[in-house]
Structure 1
Amino acid sequence: MEQGQTKLSPWLAVWIRPRETVREQLDTGQPIKWMIPIALGAGILNVLDRASSRSMGDTMSMGALLALVIIGGMIAGLVGLYLGSAIFVWIGKWLGGEGSYSDLLTALTVGNLMPSIGMGILWIPKLLLYGKDNFTSISPSINAYPMLDYMLLMVSLLLTIWNLIISLHAVGEAHQFSAWRALGSVAILFGMIIGVALIVGIFTSIFTVF
């Protein structure tokens, strides 16, 4: 039975056995195959989501939007993976974690980026049915299928939540601590981001006054 389970593709196994799947990859001692293409693809899909949620098609041509999604997505994907891994190593050490930089690269690739690419399948019906309306505030084709749009939204929300849970287990496995402690590292990261944003906002306000 165990042998049958280990033969399951990591792309599928990570959804149901995140810690075991990450551990299998960590135990190989080798970098994830296609790690950089996976990061590029996940970054593109992330920027695609942002372009849709911000209705960027209202102010940009489709050509410019496509260039932004591809170029910006590839840059964001690589920066997110390499910088994110470094940050989670740093914060994880505060919480007693044991993961190395290489461990976190593997964990985030398997436990976050691969599920993100899997979620990209939802873009297939959206692009086929809605086209440019995915990126504009006025979207008659989406309004023509309200139930379908609602279903896609709910599925996307559920998968996003599950992807977060998978990511926490992946980081926890890399650091050899619980998913709850991994959640603590995420909370610390967000706290740092909010703190930096507040400091920048305060200084911006001061210099604006003067």
Structure 2
Amino acid sequence: MEHYNDPYQQEEKHRPTLNPFISVWLQPKQTARYMIDVKSTGYAILILSIGYFGSLLSGVMEIDFPVWGIVLLCILLAPIAGLIGTAFSALITWLFGKLFKGTGNFSELFKALSLTAIPYIVLIPFYLIWLYVAPESLLTVDYMGPTPWIFWPATLATIVVSIWSFVIAVAVVAEAHQISNWKAFFTVFIPSVIFIFLFIIIAFIIVIGIIGVGMM
């Protein structure tokens, strides 16, 4: 009996197995393709749940909860924030990518962009330590006390992680849309600038409104 060799099965057989949590740091495009072709949406949500836990921890402030309550709240909110945030990012990059003749669909972009959450996992130990040793300095906006030792390494880690997450975003959008890195850069950058500009305008209008009400 003649055996039929399915090209897709042959490709799957020879595809290298990647660990996205490790490979995305230096092989973002290959990891994005692996996520798109092999991994499920559920796996992408798992990545988001862990990564957004670190992201939420780095942004907590003015929360009148005990430390354990803050950690639990971040754990519970991470999957929801990750799902909503990445779905919105996937929608925007899908739409703007079409301007550059991108071919990726929403599902592919969602799975690829979930990889941008992985660098934020690095922040988890930094901010857990910060919450433990000096919670008031992290949670209070107008904190005037001594700067804790964890401030500088946590801040440096946050800057590096944010930059690298953007680099990964450009690479995975390029892979998902099958466009050049420069086109992917503008696909990510243009909507970011637009939303920052809109945020500034809205904030300015709100401030002017508050000042106007206060002068009445």
TM-score computed with the length of structure 2 as normaliser: 0.72
Q: Could you say which residue in structure 1 is the equivalent of 2:181?
A: 179
The answer to whether structure 1 residue 129 and structure 2 residue 133 are counterparts is: yes
Identify the match of residue 22 of structure 1 among 13, 32, 37.
32
Q: Distance in 1 between matches of 2:129 and 2:200?
A: 40
Equivalent residues of 1:31, 1:102 under 8 A apart: no
Partner of 1:48: 57
Output the CA distance in 2 between the equivalents of 1:119 and 1:197. 26
| Native 8 Å contact 1:95 1:181 kept in 2 | yes
Shift of the 25–38 alpha-carbon distance from structure 1 to 2, 3 Å rule, reads: closer
Report the equivalent of 2:114: 109
- Structure 2 Cα separation of the partners of residues 123 and 198 of structure 1: 28
Give the alignment partner of residue 37 of structure 1, picking from 33, 38, 46: 46
Instruction: Determine helix, strand or coil for the equivalent of 1:89.
Output: helix
RMSD: 3.3
- Look up the equivalent residue of 2:66 and give its one-letter code: M
One-letter amino acid of the structure 2 residue matched with residue 11 of structure 1: F
Distance (whole Å) between structure 2 residues aligned to residue 99 and residue 108 of structure 1? 12
Structure 1, gaps ≥5 residues long: none
CA distance in 1, matches of 2:73, 2:138: 15
The CA deviation at 1:95 is 1.6
Are the aligned partners of 2:48 and 2:78 in contact in 1 as well (CA < 8 Å)?
A: no
Residue identity in the other structure for 1:31: S
Structure 1 position 61 matched with structure 2 position 70? no
Pair 1:156 & 2:158 matched: yes
Q: CA separation of 1:130/1:170 partners in 2, compared to 1, >3 Å: closer, same or farther?
A: same
Return the structure number with greater helix share.
1
Which structure is larger by alpha-carbon Rg, 1 or 2? 2
Counterpart of 1:191 in structure 2 is: 193
In 2, Cα distance between the equivalents of 1:79 and 1:150? Answer: 31
The alignment status of 1:83 with 2:88, answered yes or no, reads yes
| Residues 91, 106 of structure 2: 8 Å contact kept | yes
Mapped partners of 2:106, 2:167: distance in 1? 21
Task: Report the AA paired with residue 53 of structure 2.
Answer: I
Change in Cα spacing, 1:133 to 1:103, as seen in structure 2 (3 Å) is: same
| Amino acid corresponding to residue 168 of structure 2 in structure 1 | I
TM-score with structure 1 length normalisation?
A: 0.74
Match of 1:97 in 2: 102
- Opposite residue 162 of structure 1, the aligned amino acid is W
The alpha-carbon deviation at position 104 of structure 1 amounts to 0.3
